Amino acid sequence: MHDRIEEMGMNIVRRLHPHEPQRHNRLWVKKEVEYILVNELGTEATLSIRLQYTELHPSIIMKGLTKMKKLRYLYISGRDCFIERFIAYKPVKIGMGCSNISQKEGGERKVLNELKFLNIKHTEFRIFDLGLTPDLERLDLSGCYDFEEPHVPVESLKLKSLVLHSSILSKLDLRLITPQLETLNLEGCNNIEELHMPVECPKLKSFVLNHSKLSKLDLGQTP
């Protein structure tokens, strides 16, 4: 039912301006998205972009996004890229998959105050600094097999869902994450031996820990 509703919505969007895709508020047809980005035809009308398996260079994509000042959702899978390059005008939701993506080391670090959803599946991501995303609610790094650790800042976070499926991390300290956490998925984290939970985690509803080396678990106060 959800797929049918989504398909109907897409058809409605395409009927509005069938020969001017740059005026659509949602872009997902690969050849149209690439054409708009390459020719820098983007406008403020675009709120959502989904571009899969692209061969466009990250610099071309970034340049093509500059006029899309109201962009709220961005999903890209394809070439090597730094996540900082695709932060265009405070998106609320970012998704990237099947890329050799990484966080740039050194230089200026951008704080993404409005980012709430971040999905980076099946990439070569290794480290993520949660201090750059203070309002992040959902972080999905499933399939990031080289992921080693999240950097958790001292300040309070709003994180509700954390998915680290099949990463190589051996320990995880969640004591600094606020009691907002509802979902924790560590399935396939075969190397994890240490897990430190917050003293209170009253909203935790789902916790998956298959195939780990964990020998002792203290969930604290998790009613």
pLDDT digit string, tens, across residues 163-220: 988 888 888 877 767 678 899 999 988 888 888 877 678 888 999 988 888 887 777 6
What pLDDT, on the 0 to 100 scale, is given for residue 103? 52
The reply to whether 19 and 60 lie within a common domain is yes
In a domain, 61, yes or no: yes
The reply to whether 215 and 144 lie within a common domain is yes
Instruction: Render pLDDT for 49-106 as a digit per residue (tens, 0 to 9).
Output: 988 888 888 788 888 888 888 888 888 876 555 555 555 445 677 777 655 554 545 5
In a domain, 51, yes or no: yes
Domain tally, the chain: 2
In a domain, 167, yes or no: yes
Which residue, 45, 77, 93, sits at the end of a domain?
A: 93
Which residue, 93, 118, 139, sits at the end of a domain?
A: 93
Domain that holds residue 33: 1-93
Whether residue 141 contacts residue 120, with contact meaning beta carbons closer than 8 Å, is answered with: yes
Answering whether pTM is above 0.85, one says no
In a domain, 188, yes or no: yes
What pLDDT, on the 0 to 100 scale, is given for residue 128? 76
pLDDT at 40 over 60: yes
The amino acid that residue 110 corresponds to is K
Tokens of 101: 């993506």
Q: List Cβ neighbours of 219 (8 Å cut-off, separation of 6 or more).
A: 197, 201, 204, 207
Which residue, 49, 74, 93, sits at the end of a domain?
A: 93
Question: How confident is residue 26, by pLDDT bands cut at 50, 70 and 90?
Answer: confident
In a domain, 116, yes or no: no
**Nearest Cα to Cα of residue 126 among 98, 99, 107, 103:** 103
Give me the phi and psi of 54, to 5 degrees please.
-85, 150
pLDDT at 38 over 90: yes
In a domain, 101, yes or no: no
Q: Beta 171-173 vs 149-151: how paired, if at all?
A: unpaired
